[in-house]
Chain A
């Protein structure tokens, strides 16, 4: 590929999007036809049995124009897209992070020569995705986030363009105008901070401008769609991400109770970091590579991880007990139902066992048959969103 093609492409597409936003295209009506449920779920079951092949976005690779429905997970840490292929589901991941440097000819040359993904806004170069991480490491500093605790912040306007750029690095306009894209949105935070409606509308607008018909799905529900097809889509899906825990109780594929807690991997990193006096970025690396919750902690950092993981699990299950017990939406469920855990924060060794052990100390108003980890925790949400997109597509 010619040098700098990728960047030019991204810049152009961002500019084009901006032009269209000015033009004010109508957002298509998004009400799903509720009565097509049965056929939809049959299609969903078929897709959910396919294996996931995952990859990170390759530097310098052009985003594709999809020729079918798309699943999209815009998370605090990662942005993931999923597409349906003949024998598998393909996911591609981009880091949802950015880093700014002052504009200069010299910097521009370096960025272009190294195929680094960036765009210009006001007096700054915005470096985004995995490139931002590499760059921040070079400068021995931290990247910034466009989404905090699961939601686009209402007061940071640059966050939106960063998300757009990151999505555009993974996804081009669809081959067919009006292609269905389904993106995950968080449940309403239990201790209300930030607006899910604002978050949803921003992403919806942006995807419609790209030529998609966007629909949204609760993140916890994506876990149910992706993992519980053999259980009639009845059970509790929990996605433990970087900024949030998203919880959904589904009954026969209807998301009956959904909510979120603004606690996740970032909370653990910062609490452990503060406790042991190390930067959160370093803590995050140790966590992802070394943490094992089955063995006794050997040092101060590991002890802190165990303490804050236990804290997170307790807060999560306690919230589940309180929400399920007090909700007037809760149906009578005669049989025991499964819990499926997903998301990066559920990935340390023995996390599921730890969760099960803690669960024994609580009484939920519904009996739990099993607790298990999703097949591919970092891609579960994009896969579930894809299944939804496939079932909603005309």
Chain B
């Protein structure tokens, strides 16, 4: 079975909550809590969306995750964590050109993440041109730009 959504979270409760709430919303989701397995899963499933929970992650783990992100092949990336974690991640990936991504600083907002995932998935079903403009508008709206 292919999973359009893959979550990496080493945190039992954050990962568990996201996994459960996404599945409840009919989104077939795989949750991994180890980096090597996450990498394997990303390579196997080519997800549409990859959610990386980097809360309290070690620097090495963030580097590892950044490398996984490089292999995403156009998947939409959602990074969640504390503001310090997100800062570290941003520094780490500054050289990588990450286009499709959203960074959400704590508090963890499971319902918001569900709505974002749904949105991204539905946009991806649309033709390319419409998709980009919609996504842009949507992101701008969300980021209050």
Contacts and interface: CB of A to CB of B under 8 A. Distances in A.
B16 A37 contact: yes
Contacts of A328: 82, 106-107
A177 interface: no
B12 interface: yes
Contacts of B82: 328
Interface in A294-331: 328-331
A252 B20 contact: yes
B20 A334 contact: no
Given A34-B12, A37-B16, A328-B106, A252 B21 contact: yes
Given A35-B31, A328-B82, A256 B13 contact: yes
A254 interface: yes
A260 to B, nearest CB: 18
Given A255-B13, A331-B110, A332-B108, 16 more contacts: A34-B12, A34-B15, A34-B33, A37-B16, A38-B20, A252-B17, A252-B20, A254-B17, A254-B20, A256-B17, A328-B82, A328-B106, A328-B107, A330-B107, A331-B107, A331-B108
Contacts of A329: 13
Interface in A326-372: 328-332, 334
Interface of A: 34-35, 37-38, 251-256, 328-332, 334
A392 to B, nearest CB: 14
B23 interface: yes
Nearest to A334: B111
Contact of A332 (B20, B31, B33, B110): B110
Nearest to B12: A34
Nearest to B31: A35
Nearest to B106: A328
Nearest to A32: B12
A254 B107 contact: no
29 contacts: A34-B12, A34-B16, A34-B33, A37-B19, A37-B20, A38-B20, A38-B23, A251-B13, A251-B17, A251-B110, A252-B16, A252-B17, A253-B20, A254-B12, A254-B16, A254-B17, A254-B20, A255-B13, A256-B17, A328-B107, A329-B13, A330-B107, A331-B107, A331-B108, A331-B110, A332-B107, A332-B109, A332-B111, A334-B111
B112 interface: yes
Contacts of A38: 20, 23
A256 B110 CA distance: 13
Contacts of B17: 251-252, 254, 256, 331
Nearest to A41: B20
Given A34-B33, A37-B20, A332-B111, A254 B106 contact: no
